[in-house]
Amino acid sequence: MKRFLYLEKKDLGTILNQYRPLLKINDPFVPISSDTSLIFKTGGQRSERPFFINKVAPCRHVCPIGIDIPTAFYLASQGDIDGALRTYLQDNPLPGICGRVCYHPCEMECNRVNFDESINIRSLERFLSDQGHVDITRDVPIHSKKEKIAVIGSGPAGLSAAYHLARLGYRVTIFEAKSELGGMLRYGIPSYRLPRSILDREIERIHSLGIQTQLETTVGKDLSWKELESFDAVFMSLGLQSGKTLFETDGLENDILIGLDFLANPKRWSLEDDTQKTLIIGGGNVAIDVARTLLRLHQGKGTNITVLCPESRDQMPALPEEVKEALEEGINILNGWAPHKLHREDGRLFSLDFCRAEVKIDEESGTMEIIRVGKEIQKHMVDKIIVAIGQRMKSDNLPPGIEIKQGGIVTDRFGRTSLPKFFSGGDAIRGKAFVANAIAGGKMGAFAISCFFEGRDIEIEFQRYQIGDSQIYSFPHFIGGLEKDTIHLKTVVSFDQINTLFFSKNARNNPDKLEPETRKKTFEEVTRSLKQAGMEEEISRCFHCGTCIDCEICLDFCPDISIIKDTKLGIYSFDSDYCKGCGVCSVACPRNVIEMVGETI
Ligand SMILES: Cc1cc2nc3c(=O)[nH]c(=O)nc-3n(C[C@H](O)[C@H](O)[C@H](O)COP(=O)(O)OP(=O)(O)OC[C@H]3O[C@@H](n4cnc5c(N)ncnc54)[C@H](O)[C@@H]3O)c2cc1C
Ligand code: SF4
Ligand code: SF4
Ligand code: SF4
């Protein structure tokens, strides 16, 4: 109905054109009177009134961390790169990392997909975080609260929990088993995808919040869980530290490796000899990272490196872009095969038999079953095998009495475990094993711990700040309250609510990549940053779904000149004397920010 009204304006334009010489107007869309009409208080005709309310963009709704992407892009479009980064940092302590390695579900749900192509949200996150400068300590009450929290593990879940807790004013100490912070960001994901300088920069920023760290301390071994009693709460972000095994290695420990062990220190295993035939078993990110790391150790000579997995190419759990890049670099991937029998000779690894296989995935539970198909067997000569078929939690260092199920710590949806004072998140609770989900787990942990200390009903609190029907809440609203902002966090703007007449189709801007022939010989970062012009073009493509960006289209379209802009506060209201409730502003708004609500008598 409202859209119909708007389309009708085109006919109105045609009619007005006939009178143009008479009226001496150039723009058929601008209402004009030849005399004052102020005496006609048309507001009396109104049965509905416009109501300005920001809503949630679908990209934000599906981002596991709930980042306010349209606001960040709006600030960037005004040249305020620092403001854009500050917006990211409200919810995400690691934008430079997510801007590189996140699986970007935001792009899959971006409304722009239905128009031309999704916005390159991840590349923009990277650009803005690399270019922006923000002193995060400025607005937070560091150490303003007395409660102390121990965070165990410093992967993205632990770093995120520590960051958000510190911003809430709590005193945080991180205990980390390894000699450096970062978890799989440092000891898993290779540097050609995530340079360590970026990780160090983001950790430094988190550190600036007055967080204590105790490295080389495995809780449950070097320090007992009981010794943490002096802390008021514990957040466990232990990750999945053990790679699953496939074969008995006895005596072949240097020939049959675990992918995670290899990636943690690739040079340790003396695999530089490129004449050795190496087989990597697995179809996930770890397998692909192992293959590409080995290729770089071999100075780009990949003829003896093969990845084998039972999944078809489309079923591989590795991110499609990773698989594509590996293939471009010349990695050989054999799909639809599973290892069958290992042969040794003279105490050495000799060959491996493969059999034909396929994988059935249960969509609901996410579990997979490998099924042998037919009788075909192939023998492959092999010098080294690297097994990358998944990870599991180390169960020997857990706090006594904690409930474990299917290899993960049992929690409710807020990360509360079976033990009082103990919370958990990240890979250890066996949800989606991605960086963004781990960050979300840490953010949720901070929320749950805060509610616990302050005796607030967590269900009610979560309802209040929940974004749409997602599993995440808005951190800036949690600390700042909802009162100051005009946003309805529960409503998500869909594509059919966008007025696309105001947008033109443009191709997506993608960053450059190093050429395969160059990149396969080096650990230099493969993907480059967007250039300044590319960033600006990409930002200008964003619809800013549900977010008022001061475009003033509503002002232009109101036939009664009844929209009032408060230039100081940048907010809009309507003149109740003259607004007759026609709804044109609501239909015209490109971003679905104006609702018509019924008048009450
Ligand atoms: C090779 C590889 C590539 C990946 N690529 C991607 C990717 O491209 N994109 C993506 O989104 N995800 C990727 N992931 C997954 C992602 O890295 C994980 O989901 C994420 O790191 C999980 O974070 P976490 O904090 O739960 O655990 P982790 O990152 O595993 O960190 C856990 C930390 O806890 C410490 N710890 C454990 N037990 C104790 C203890 N008892 N006392 C003290 N410290 C302890 C560990 O030393 C570790 O530092 C990849 C993973 C791997 C292994
Ligand atoms: S963290 Fe991931 S999902 Fe969220 S905005 Fe960034 S790229 Fe998108
Ligand atoms: S167009 Fe912009 S605001 Fe809308 S979903 Fe895409 S990135 Fe988000
Ligand atoms: S376009 Fe003007 S008159 Fe019509 S509803 Fe909006 S503010 Fe009121």
Q: What residue ranges define each of the domains in the chain, with the CATH number in brackets?
A: 2-55+548-598 (3.30.70.20), 58-134+492-541 (1.10.1060), 148-241+402-455 (3.50.50.60), 243-392 (3.50.50.60)
| pLDDT class of 7 with cuts at 50, 70, 90 | very low
Q: For 249-258, how does the pLDDT look when each residue is reduced to its tens digit (9 = 90+)? A: 888 888 999 9
Any ligand 2 atom below 6 A from CB of 121: yes
Q: For 97-119, how does the pLDDT look when each residue is reduced to its tens digit (9 = 90+)? A: 999 999 999 999 999 999 999 99
Task: Output 554 or 23, whichever has higher pLDDT.
Answer: 554
160, 184, 396, best to mutate for ligand 1 pocket (most atoms within 8 Å of CB): 184
Any ligand 2 atom below 6 A from CB of 65: yes
- Mean pLDDT, the chain, rounded, equals 91
Give me the mean pLDDT over the 492-503 stretch: 97
If you measure from the C-alpha of residue 594 to the centroid of ligand 4, how many angstroms do you get, rounded to a whole number?
Answer: 10
Any ligand 2 atom below 6 A from CB of 105: yes
The pLDDT value given to residue 570: 73
Separation of alpha carbons 542 and 553, rounded Å: 16
The pLDDT value given to residue 213: 98
Give me the mean pLDDT over the 438-465 stretch: 97
DSSP of 21-80, one letter per residue? HHHT-S-TTS---SS--TT--GGGG-SEEEEE-EEE-HHHHHSTT---HHHHHHHHHTT-
Using the Cα atoms of residue 307, residue 313, residue 316 and residue 318 in order, give the sign of their dihedral. positive
Cβ neighbours of residue 346 closer than 8 Å, sequence gap 6 or more? none
Give me the mean pLDDT over the 505-518 stretch: 97
Any ligand 3 atom below 6 A from CB of 177: no
The pLDDT value given to residue 15: 43
Any ligand 1 atom below 6 A from CB of 311: no
The pLDDT value given to residue 3: 28
75, 505, 542, 551, best to mutate for ligand 3 pocket (most atoms within 8 Å of CB): 542
| pLDDT class of 484 with cuts at 50, 70, 90 | low
Determine the Cα angle at 307 with ends 302 and 313, to 5°.
Answer: 120
Ligand closest to CA 73:
3
| pLDDT class of 31 with cuts at 50, 70, 90 | low
| pLDDT class of 40 with cuts at 50, 70, 90 | confident
If you measure from the C-alpha of residue 328 to the centroid of ligand 3, how many angstroms do you get, rounded to a whole number?
Answer: 31
Ligand closest to CA 395:
1
- Does pLDDT of 34 surpass 70? no
Give me the mean pLDDT over the 193-212 stretch: 97
Separation of alpha carbons 438 and 128, rounded Å: 22
- Does pLDDT of 1 surpass 60? no
- Does pLDDT of 33 surpass 70? no
Ligand closest to CA 154:
1
- Whole-angstrom CA distances from 475 to 226, 465, 472 are 32, 8, 9
The pLDDT value given to residue 251: 82
102, 104, 122, 543, best to mutate for ligand 3 pocket (most atoms within 8 Å of CB): 543
- Does pLDDT of 524 surpass 60? yes
| pLDDT class of 159 with cuts at 50, 70, 90 | very high
| pLDDT class of 12 with cuts at 50, 70, 90 | very low
Any ligand 1 atom below 6 A from CB of 98: no
Amino acid at 255: D
The pLDDT value given to residue 253: 86
